[in-house]
Amino acid sequence: MKRARIATCLANILDHFDTSLYGFLVPILAPLFFPKSDPVVALIQGYGIVIIGFITRPLGAWYFGKQADLVGPHAALITTIMGMTATTFCFTLLQPYEHWGVGGAIGLCLLRGIQNFFGAGETSIAGLYVLEGAETNQQHPITSLYLSSTMIGILLASGVASLLFASDTPQLYWKWPFYGSLVTGLVGWWLRRQSAEHTVVLPVKTGIQEPIHLGPLLNGNNKGFSLKDNWQGILRLIPITGFSYILYSAPLVFFNSFATLVTQITIKDLMISNTLLMVFDLGLLAILGPVMRKMNAEKLLLKISLAAVLVSPILFWCVPFVGVFGSVVIRMVIIILGVAFCIPLHQWYRSEFPAKNRYTTTAIGYAIGSEVLGRSFPAVGLALWHLTHSSIVPGVYIALVGLCAYLSIALPKTLKTRYK
């Protein structure tokens, strides 16, 4: 299992490099694919493409979560990384509005939808898979290692985007990172193939002996998934997973466009500081994982979500009055909250939801929450600012989602809710 964890983390680096590229390149892609719109509206449209994921991510989560529960998570993860690689590479085939007209934007939407379908399985399954067979006091450090691999992939994507923004004509080179994604995706797929999980040979009705993955047998995942039995757990996860994703997207994606509208900071300076903040995020993961080793996951989640509710509006109110250094400090505070919230989250999943359909329940809950509340935040945050011209409003939105996450964690225990 140790070898499988290492391979999963290495593949996760490459996979998140592929999936993060689009978010960082939106300031370049928006004027190319939506040139007829006002610049702010074009940015909202560029980020707003995630709306297609409202449909495709839950479908992907259901499909791959069910595959992980019934066949084994490793097989599902091999499929997801193959799909992510092929879809990301297809971005290189697109042509902007100048050549394809509105067809370019439609193609962008379709590819993001397919990418979200495969990505839903990847992001929700891998984090639980690395905890299989781990002792309780090792789960926070292992989760920290896995999240670090995620951040390394995002950091690489941010670094590549920063190189593009440093160019005088970044619109001429936007396809280059997507070409590179073919190489990274294939390497990730090879790593996963090399770490194929152990199998056991059992007789089947046909008389032919076939390999069956140990994962679902050990966990009792052989009865399938029932929405009727799990809808409460899925609804509960939506604000929690959405909030965890917002704490990533707010400082590292949304802020890059938002700060250029309300401050004098240039996009080039923001992207440089963005890369440095990801290094900070990575170091924080390495430190906090072992520190939190023996801390109670639920208590941590409650305290951090409450802290975010209190400070988010204040932080965003300050944004118009700060320079580069002040913007870095504001983003660092949000990153600290996000890292501290995400580390205990996977252990909490394991303690809260039954093993027989844990992958499917958490996959669907994460897919809906991260898409409806998390990935949509850059578009929603910009739209809220565009309507109100008040910098505090995106912070209030984060606080409201954080409050919903707090209640979703606390109330079921208070009301003694049980899951089948």
Q: How many domains does the chain have?
A: 1
In a domain, 209, yes or no: no
In a domain, 159, yes or no: yes
Average pLDDT over the chain, rounded to an integer = 82
CATH code, 109: 1.20.1250.20
Predicted confidence at residue 207, as pLDDT, reads: 37
In a domain, 420, yes or no: no
Provide the domain limits for residue 248.
Answer: 2-199+220-411
Take residue 118 and report the two structure tokens written for it.
């495969």
72: left (phi over 0), alpha (psi -120 to 50) or beta: left
Q: Return the H-helix or E-strand segment holding 138.
A: helix 136-166
Quickly count helices (H) and strands (E) in the chain: 18, 2
Predicted confidence at residue 170, as pLDDT, reads: 79
Q: Return the H-helix or E-strand segment holding 212.
A: strand 209-213
Return the amino acid letter for 407: L
In a domain, 258, yes or no: yes
Q: What is the pLDDT of residues 298-338, one digit of tens each?
A: 999 999 999 999 999 999 999 999 999 999 999 999 999 99
Q: What is the pLDDT of residues 30-70, one digit of tens each?
A: 889 988 878 888 888 887 787 787 788 888 888 888 888 88
Of 394, 397, 166, 162, nearest to 258 by C-alpha is 394
- HSE at residue 363, side-chain half, CA atoms within 13 A, is 36
- 188-221 burial: b if 16+ Cβ within 10 Å, else e: bbebbeebebeeeeeeeeeeeeeeebbbbeebeb
Q: What is the number of other CB atoms lying within 10 angstroms of the CB of residue 101?
A: 11
User: Which residues, at least 6 apart from 182, have a Cβ–Cβ distance to it below 8 Å?
Assistant: 85, 88, 89
Q: Under DSSP, is residue 382 helix (H, G, I), strand (E, B) or coil?
A: helix
Q: Which long-range contacts (CB under 8 A, 24 or more apart) does 386-389 make?
A: 386/40, 386/41, 386/44
Q: What is the pLDDT of residues 76-115, one digit of tens each?
A: 888 888 888 888 889 889 998 889 998 998 998 899 889 8
Q: Among 133-137, 254-258, 282-286, 408-412, where is mean pLDDT lowest? A: 133-137
In a domain, 101, yes or no: yes
Of 360, 341, 337, 334, nearest to 409 by C-alpha is 341
Of 145, 186, 198, 135, nearest to 4 by C-alpha is 198
C-alpha of 269 from chain center: 24
Q: Which one has a higher pLDDT value, 245 or 198?
A: 245
Q: Is 70 exceeded by the pLDDT of residue 131?
A: yes
Q: Among 109-118, 119-128, 151-160, where is mean pLDDT lowest? A: 119-128
Mean pLDDT throughout 214-242? 66
In a domain, 418, yes or no: no
Predicted confidence at residue 76, as pLDDT, reads: 84
CA separation for the pair 19, 97 (Å, rounded): 23
Dihedrals φ, ψ of 211, to 5°? -75, 135
- 231-251 burial: b if 16+ Cβ within 10 Å, else e: eebbebbbbbbbbbbbbbbbb
Q: Is 80 exceeded by the pLDDT of residue 203?
A: no
Helical H segments across 263-391, by residue range: 267-291, 297-318, 324-342, 345-352, 358-369, 377-388
Q: What is the number of other CB atoms lying within 10 angstroms of the CB of residue 45?
A: 18
The radius of gyration computed from the CA coordinates of the chain, to the nearest angstrom, equals 21
Report if pTM > 0.85: no
Take residue 291 and report the two structure tokens written for it.
């520190």
Q: Is the Cβ–Cβ distance between 246 and 401 less than 8 Å?
A: yes
Dihedrals φ, ψ of 212, to 5°? -125, 130
Predicted confidence at residue 414, as pLDDT, reads: 58
CA separation for the pair 326, 274 (Å, rounded): 13
Q: Is the Cβ–Cβ distance between 243 and 404 less than 8 Å?
A: yes
In a domain, 52, yes or no: yes
The DSSP bridge pattern shows strands 199-203 and 209-213 to be antiparallel
In a domain, 181, yes or no: yes
